[in-house]
Structure 1
Amino acid sequence: MTTFFQSVRQGFANRQGGRANGVNGNPNQQRSQNTSPVTGNPTNPSPSSTGAPVSFPSNPGASVEDTSKTGADCLAPEETKWFFKEAYAKLSVKGNFMPLAAKPSYLDLGDWLAHQTVEQYRLITYFIVSVQEVNQNTNTVVCNANECPTMSAGRHYIYTWLNNERKPIPVPACQYIALVQRWIVGKIHDPVAFPTDSPFGRTAPSFESSYPSTAGTDQGGRKPIAAGPTTLSRTLSDLAGQDWVGKSAGFPESFLSDVRTAWRQMFRIYAHLYHAHFINPFWHIHNPNYMDLNSSFCYFVSVGKLFGLIGERDLEPMQDLIDIWNSNGSIPTDCANGAFAITQ
Structure 2
Amino acid sequence: MFLFEIGRCAGNYLWSYVPGVSSEPRKRKKTTEDVPNRNGEREKLCLQDRHVTCRLHRDDLKTYVQLPKGVEENEWIATHTIKLYDNLQLITNCLTEYCTAENCPVMSGGQNLIFYWVSERNKKMRPTAPTYIEMVMSWTEKQIKDELVFPTKYGNQFPPTFKDTVRKMFRFFFHIIAHIYYSHFQDVINFELVPHLNTLFHHYVLFSQEFNLVEDKEMAPLETLINLLIGTN
TM-score, with length taken from structure 2: 0.80
Deviation of 1:126 (Å): 1.4
Question: What does residue 184 of structure 1 align with?
Answer: 140
Counterpart of 1:13 (choices 7, 25, 28) is 7
Q: Secondary structure at the match of 1:153?
A: strand
Instruction: Give the Cα–Cα distance (whole angstroms) in 2 for the partners of residues 14 and 298 of structure 1.
Output: 16
**What percent identity do the matched residue pairs reach?**
24
Instruction: From the superposition, tell whether residues 315 and 115 of structure 1 become closer, same or farther in structure 2 (CA, over 3 Å).
Output: same
Instruction: Give the Cα–Cα distance (whole angstroms) in 2 for the partners of residues 85 and 14 of structure 1.
Output: 29
Q: Per-residue CA shift, 1:300-335, capped at 9, x if unaligned?
A: 11111111111111101111110112333x2xxxxx
Question: What does residue 205 of structure 2 align with?
Answer: 301
Q: Per-residue CA shift, 1:25-79, capped at 9, x if unaligned?
A: xxxx69xxxxxxxxxxxxxxxxxxxxxxxxxxxxxxxxxxxxxxxxxxxxxx945
Residue 33 of structure 2 corresponds to residue 127 of structure 1: no
Letter in 1 for 2:69: S
Letter in 1 for 2:46: F
Question: What does residue 269 of structure 1 align with?
Answer: 176
Q: Secondary structure at the match of 1:269?
A: helix
Instruction: Give the Cα–Cα distance (whole angstroms) in 1 for the partners of residues 190 and 230 of structure 2.
Output: 27
Letter in 2 for 1:84: L
Instruction: Give the Cα–Cα distance (whole angstroms) in 2 for the partners of residues 186 and 15 of structure 1.
Output: 24
Counterpart of 1:312 (choices 210, 216, 222) is 216
Q: Is the 8 A contact 1:260 1:310 kept in 2?
A: yes
Instruction: Give the Cα–Cα distance (whole angstroms) in 2 for the partners of residues 108 and 164 of structure 1.
Output: 31
Question: What does residue 253 of structure 1 align with?
Answer: 160
Counterpart of 1:84 (choices 20, 27, 47) is 47
Instruction: Give the Cα–Cα distance (whole angstroms) in 2 for the partners of residues 294 and 164 of structure 1.
Output: 33
Instruction: Give the Cα–Cα distance (whole angstroms) in 1 for the partners of residues 5 and 202 of structure 2.
Output: 18
TM-score, with length taken from structure 1: 0.55
Deviation of 1:94 (Å): 0.7
Question: What does residue 174 of structure 1 align with?
Answer: 130
Please identify which structure carries the higher helix content. 2
Q: Secondary structure at the match of 2:58?
A: coil
Cα RMSD, aligned residues only: 2.4
Higher relative contact order (CA 8 A, sep 6+): 2
Q: Is the 8 A contact 1:15 1:115 kept in 2?
A: no
- The number of equivalent residue pairs is 203
Q: Secondary structure at the match of 1:318?
A: helix
Letter in 2 for 1:279: Q
Instruction: Give the Cα–Cα distance (whole angstroms) in 1 for the partners of residues 177 and 121 of structure 2.
Output: 27
Q: Secondary structure at the match of 2:216?
A: coil
Larger-Rg structure: 1
Instruction: Give the Cα–Cα distance (whole angstroms) in 1 for the partners of residues 150 and 161 of structure 2.
Output: 10
Instruction: Give the Cα–Cα distance (whole angstroms) in 2 for the partners of residues 13 and 164 of structure 1.
Output: 36
Question: What does residue 279 of structure 1 align with?
Answer: 186
Instruction: Give the Cα–Cα distance (whole angstroms) in 2 for the partners of residues 89 and 298 of structure 1.
Output: 10
Mark the runs of 5 or more structure 1 residues left unpaired by the alignment: 1-9, 17-28, 31-76, 133-140, 201-249, 331-344
Instruction: From the superposition, tell whether residues 15 and 283 of structure 1 become closer, same or farther in structure 2 (CA, over 3 Å).
Output: closer
Letter in 1 for 2:106: T
Letter in 1 for 2:144: I
Q: Secondary structure at the match of 1:149?
A: coil
Q: Is the 8 A contact 2:109 2:179 kept in 1?
A: yes
After TM superposition, the runs of 4+ consecutive aligned structure 1 residues lying more than 6 A away are: none
Mark the runs of 5 or more structure 2 residues left unpaired by the alignment: 11-22, 25-38
Letter in 2 for 1:160: Y
Counterpart of 2:101 (choices 125, 142, 145) is 145
Counterpart of 1:195 (choices 130, 151, 155) is 151
Deviation of 1:15 (Å): 11
